[in-house]
Amino acid sequence: MEPKSVKLEEHVEFYRYISNSNDQPRFVLHYRTDAPLSIKSVLYFPETKPGLFEMSRETEVGVSLYTRRILIKAKAENILPKWLRFVKGVVDSEDIPLNLSRELLQNSPLINKLRNVLTTRILKFLQDRSKRDVENYLAFYKDYSLFIKEGIVTTQDVHEKEEIAKLLRYESSEQEAGTLITLPEYIEKLGEGQKDIYYLCAPSRALALSSPYLEALRERKVQVLFCYEPHDELILLQLRSFQNFNLTSVEKEMRQDKEEDKSGQILGPDSLPSSDADKLVSWIEEKMKNKVHSVKITTKLDSHPCVVTVEEMAAARHFLKTQSQNLNEEQRFSLLQPRLEINPKHPVIKKLASLSSSNPALAELVVQQLFSNAMVVAGLVEDPRTILGNINELLTLALEKH
């Protein structure tokens, strides 16, 4: 049958029959082609949210394979990649031999070609839906974005990764809350000379906007994508680049800055004098040598006294969530090698410089707390309750004269 001759009611009835469900398809892809293979297919995208068992990669795929209207295999594997296991439907190809064995079904170059053609067509279809039917696509994305992101991680083909990445949607620092943009839309608004797509991972928009890592980029009016799901930064870390633009976390951008902020002119008139700043850096490095790998003056902060940076923040956070229970505190800091970057303009840092000589005990508690705060902001502290002891000591010493 020609795609245009099939009524929606017929699609709904057929979808319910093959999927054994009572919902309706959100999208229908009725696809026919004679090249590079002869394919007649009807593919459905569910309207309801995926169930718990459907999220598992062990779930059977929902597409059956036919040749000349003869069933080869119901719920045939390898017809679509695993990340598209939520798609339901049937595929009929006259190029598939009737005597195709189970082994050939898994390893046949013909099946691989069929899978590539179908995957490419599905990606093109979803990209088209995302532009023509924005509201419906965003509802689909809300329910099935995890599958899309799984496709980026599991797909080995770089071109296919980028095609899948066109389906991603994120909020950004330059858009209103709730407004989602694509990676191509981000690139369209790149500033002159900008070669990176910047992103920031945080549990919420409020925390993202208040992040110390965002301050310098916002001041330069550089757009930053906001990622609210814990797995998002691993997805973007895996993607690495998009259309020849590097995907860079704002934490990495801060750490990679090679500018040496050592002269008084660079630090500015409202900052600590360079000599005092250098003395403070040396003092902190001595007091925090068991935790901090290095200390650096930065001019990229405004309202925050300090930040912590590590070489790969996303990988570090993932490592702490999965492996930190096997390591003691000294081992964790040895592996992380955190760098403490201090803001010489901040009142707390200025006061700390004088306290380091007038009241070393209080100063040490203050710098310990500043480091702990920065580690919490960086997402490198699994249980914030571990820093309460130092807070109580600091309060006790601060209130001694009152």
Torsion angle (degrees, nearest 10) of CA 118, 119, 120, 121: 50
Q: Is the pLDDT of residue 264 over 60?
A: no
Region 29-35: mean pLDDT is 92
Which fold, 8-133? Ribosomal Protein S5; domain 2 (3.30.230)
Contact 218, 136 (CB under 8 A): no
CATH number of the 168-255 domain: 3.40.50.11260
Exposure string (b/e) for 79-101, b if CB count within 10 Å is 16 or more? bbbbbbbbbbbbbbbeebeeebe
Q: Is the pLDDT of residue 367 over 60?
A: yes
Place of tokens 């309801």: 48
Region 238-259: mean pLDDT is 87
Helix axes 274-287, 360-377, angle to 10 degrees: 80
Beta strand extents in 34-77 (DSSP E only) = 39-46, 62-67, 70-73
Report the candidate in 342, 355, 354, 257 with the shortest Cα–Cα distance to residue 304.
342
Contact 26, 45 (CB under 8 A): yes
Of all residues in the chain, what percent carry a pLDDT higher than 70?
94
Model confidence pLDDT, tens digit, residues 40-72: 999 999 999 887 767 777 777 779 999 989 888
What residues does each domain of the chain span? Answer: 8-133, 168-255, 268-400
Region 181-206: mean pLDDT is 94
Q: Is the pLDDT of residue 1 over 70?
A: no
The yes or no reply on domain 268-400 and CATH 1.20.120.790 is yes
Q: Is the pLDDT of residue 374 over 90?
A: yes
Single pTM value for the model? 0.89
Q: By three-state DSSP, how is residue 128 classified?
A: helix
Contact 61, 76 (CB under 8 A): yes
Task: Kindly report the average pLDDT of the chain as a whole number.
Answer: 90
Report the candidate in 304, 305, 280, 287 with the shortest Cα–Cα distance to residue 365.
287
What pLDDT does residue 320 have? 85
Contact 353, 344 (CB under 8 A): no
Report the candidate in 42, 35, 34 with the shortest Cα–Cα distance to residue 6.
42
Q: Tell me the C-alpha distance between 104 and 324, whole Å.
A: 44
Q: Tell me the C-alpha distance between 260 and 355, whole Å.
A: 25
DSSP element (H, E) containing 94? none
Report the candidate in 308, 313, 300 with the shortest Cα–Cα distance to residue 345.
300
